[in-house]
Amino acid sequence: MRLTHQDINLRLEHPFKISRGTQLVASNVLVHVEHDGIFGVGEAAPSTYYGEDQATVHAALNILEPALGDDPFALEAILERFDATIGGHGAAKAAIDIALHDWVGKRLALPVWRLFGLSAEAAPQTSFTIGIDTPEKMAEKAASARNFPILKVKVGTPNDRENLAAIRHVSDARIRVDANAAWTPKEAIAALRSLEEFRLEFVEQPVAAGDLDGLRFVRENVGIPVICDESCVVSSDIPKVAGKVDGINIKLVKCGGLRRAMHMIRTAKAHGLLVMMGCMIESGILITAASHLSPLLDFADLDGNLLLAEDPYPGVVVNNGWLRLPSGPGLGVGSR
């Protein structure tokens, strides 16, 4: 198999602010795996929070390339060789895993959701994310997202109440919030109680990633489910958070791709946890890849491509929030 990779810098339509910073461009990596004249496409959306960027992705891909072998169907063996070659580097590994699934789907003329034995009709609605801004701007974004019955609002600022009030004033959507680890447990409980009147669906990652007892303390003291994201990266994290949270947010670039995500979904369900899949700011390649597993989810937050000025690789279509999975072979992603 032949591996090629190049930077893709995706410009956002608006600056995207969360509790720990603001993003203007998603500096991602486009990956192709070629074998027998068929090209599989994948994408890495590295996050410096998890120790990756474009340079580490290219370096990891170069290290992994000799472990690819010559059989794209041998996915389990390939991923085992990858993990034996280099630990971590979930975004780089995810890019290859996704390209291999695209390759296999194209070879067999089947969409990825069928390779996993799923039904496209069971795909859920995704939320649309509102980044942190002034109350007026956040309300404006919520109003213009009226085709999305579910909003995910970023919180963890001194103005959360004003922001949520402004959004609630213009929107009847289901609203979930994500604090991206901004609060101490006591702050989280106070903040969430002060937001109760806005009828929140759940809270994502209220406290620091390593504060698992803090997650449990928050969960015991607020009336809404607690989902962890930064606290749960790979499947071995699941037993550690079980009993402390209501659910986990899986991301392909954290865990290393579709097969690892499938394993996490099953492991989480075995622990009685709710399962959400989320995303970084990414093109239709990664968003569509995650969407192929979405029929298995309790909550989908797969909107990273919708925050771009333009998505160069459109695939999954969103209609009133519903994820409409492609029926073409592989990922079903095109290019503009």
Q: Kindly list the residues in this chain that would bind Mg ion in the complex (CB under 5 A).
A: 178, 204, 229
Least spacing, CB of residue 262 vs Mg ion, in Å: 20
Alpha helices for 157-312 (secondary structure H) = 160-170, 185-194, 212-221, 238-241, 252-255, 258-270, 284-291
- Give me the count of residues in the chain: 336
Residue 256 DSSP SS3 = coil
Give the C-alpha separation, 228 to 215, whole Å: 8
SS percent in the chain: helix, strand, coil, step 5: 40, 25, 35
Q: Which one, 102 or 178, has the nearer CB to Mg ion?
A: 178
Residue with smallest beta-carbon separation from Mg ion: 229
State how beta strands 200-204 and 174-178 pair.
parallel
Least spacing, CB of residue 287 vs Mg ion, in Å: 15
Least spacing, CB of residue 229 vs Mg ion, in Å: 4
CA distances 199 to 76, 164, 174, 202, 310, Å, are: 43, 10, 8, 9, 33
Q: Which one, 204 or 311, has the nearer CB to Mg ion?
A: 204
Q: Which one, 160 or 229, has the nearer CB to Mg ion?
A: 229
The CA dihedral of 18, 263, 226, 174, to the nearest 10 degrees, is 70
Q: Which one, 30 or 155, has the nearer CB to Mg ion?
A: 155
Give the C-alpha separation, 32 to 78, whole Å: 16
Least spacing, CB of residue 188 vs Mg ion, in Å: 14
Q: Which one, 250 or 308, has the nearer CB to Mg ion?
A: 250
Least spacing, CB of residue 164 vs Mg ion, in Å: 17
Least spacing, CB of residue 32 vs Mg ion, in Å: 29
Q: Which one, 52 or 229, has the nearer CB to Mg ion?
A: 229
CA distances 128 to 55, 82, 136, 239, 299, Å, are: 30, 34, 17, 29, 12
Least spacing, CB of residue 302 vs Mg ion, in Å: 12
Q: Which one, 97 or 229, has the nearer CB to Mg ion?
A: 229
Q: State the residue for tokens 């496409």.
A: 41
Give the C-alpha separation, 252 to 261, whole Å: 6
